[in-house]
Homo-oligomer: A and B are copies of this chain.
Amino acid sequence: MRIGAVEAGGTKFVCGIGDENGAVEDRISFPTEQPEKTLQQVIDYFQGKQVEAIGVGTFGPINIDPSSPEYGFVTTTPKPGWSGYDFLGTLKKAFQVPFGWDTDVNAAAFGEATWGAAKGLDSCVYYTIGTGVGMGVYSEGKLVHGLIHPEGGHVPVRRHPEDTYEGFCPYHGDCLEGVAAGPALEKRWNVKGSELAADHPAWPMEAFYIGQAVTSAILMLSPKKVILGGGVMHQLQLFPMIREEVRRNLNGYVSHPAVQDEIDSYIVPPGLGDNAGLCGSLALGLAAYRKEHA
């Protein structure tokens, strides 16, 4: 099979072709500019490539309500030109194939459940912690939507007692994203996160916040796997710290071996590594194909 995948990020787009086993055979990447220009690059890439379906995992917020006349639109974003743009419709005009459409983080969660760290499981939560914080939720074998889609990067958090940084989220100040995304690290410590030593006090504080959000996700959703990706999570020393925060927060309340004895294999990096996003979009495209041909 030849399935198209579009990973639409706020700073760059990645397009690729893959098969039903999650193997990606070709890819291309270009910066995110005005939507007309960027989507023309997407169309040019897939032209003549004979894809049988296309999956799109994108930055948001987006309209994911199939009954809405604005299904497939980007809704409100500060990114110039994209707010109210008919992203999906533009691609559908160019290719008469089934389309999958979801947030980049829901796509990543789905990719991980299809071929990655949550393979074979019917639930997982995926966080990306990078320039922002995003959350994808897969539960009972379905990606979670409702009014819109999960936006769990913006939950309120209890402040670390030694943290005086006010947070940078323009909506909430010190929500999770405001205190734990990459820019918060840089603003709090006056140096890029990637330049902080592995034993710097930045990391226990970072783990305090991420661990708190993961604790809430476990208590609200009881996912079978928690996957933490994104640039900040390249700091692998965070994993044991976050697991310890979660264990301390839960304090034995959730009586299940996954959190009690096997937490090292419960809270994990993406099984697909930095391919989680593109493979997620591929999985969305594959699901759209299968739904159409069921």
A interface, CB within 8 angstroms of B: 61, 75-76, 122-123, 135, 137, 139-140, 142-159, 171-172, 212, 215-224, 249-256, 258-259
Question: With a CB–CB cut-off of 8 A, which chain B residues contact A219?
Answer: 150-155
Question: With a CB–CB cut-off of 8 A, which chain B residues contact A75?
Answer: 255
Complex-state Cα separation, A142 to B252, whole angstroms: 27
How many copies altogether?
2
Assess whether A144 is in contact with B139, with CB atoms less than 8 Å apart.
Answer: yes
Shortest beta-carbon distance, A69 to chain B, in Å?
Answer: 15
Assess whether B217 is in contact with A147, with CB atoms less than 8 Å apart.
Answer: no
Complex-state Cα separation, A222 to B148, whole angstroms: 6
Complex-state Cα separation, A148 to B221, whole angstroms: 9
Question: With a CB–CB cut-off of 8 A, which chain B residues contact A140?
Answer: 139-140, 142-145
Question: With a CB–CB cut-off of 8 A, which chain B residues contact A218?
Answer: 147
Complex-state Cα separation, A220 to B138, whole angstroms: 11
Assess whether A146 is in contact with B171, with CB atoms less than 8 Å apart.
Answer: no
Shortest beta-carbon distance, A168 to chain B, in Å?
Answer: 14
Instruction: Determine the residue in chain B with the shortest Cβ distance to A75.
Output: B255
Assess whether A220 is in contact with B223, with CB atoms less than 8 Å apart.
Answer: no
Partner of A158, one of B61, B159, B222: B159
Assess whether B252 is in contact with A151, with CB atoms less than 8 Å apart.
Answer: no
Assess whether A220 is in contact with B146, with CB atoms less than 8 Å apart.
Answer: no
Assess whether A146 is in contact with B212, with CB atoms less than 8 Å apart.
Answer: no
Q: A140-B145, A142-B140, A253-B172 are in contact. Are A150 and B222 (CB under 8 A)?
A: yes
Complex-state Cα separation, A161 to B223, whole angstroms: 32
Complex-state Cα separation, A254 to B155, whole angstroms: 12
Q: A155-B216, A156-B249, A249-B172 are in contact. Are A222 and B254 (CB under 8 A)?
A: no
Question: With a CB–CB cut-off of 8 A, which chain B residues contact A139?
Answer: 139-140, 142, 144, 146
List 24 A-B residue pairs with CB atoms under 8 Å apart, sorted by A's residue number.
A139-B139, A139-B140, A139-B146, A140-B140, A140-B142, A140-B145, A145-B222, A146-B221, A147-B223, A147-B256, A147-B258, A147-B259, A148-B254, A148-B256, A150-B219, A150-B221, A151-B253, A152-B219, A154-B219, A154-B253, A155-B216, A171-B253, A172-B253, A216-B220
Assess whether A254 is in contact with B172, with CB atoms less than 8 Å apart.
Answer: no
Complex-state Cα separation, A137 to B221, whole angstroms: 8
Interface-central residue, A216, A249, A253, by most chain B CB under 10 Å: A216
Complex-state Cα separation, A145 to B220, whole angstroms: 10
Shortest beta-carbon distance, A193 to chain B, in Å?
Answer: 24
Question: With a CB–CB cut-off of 8 A, which chain B residues contact A137?
Answer: 220-221
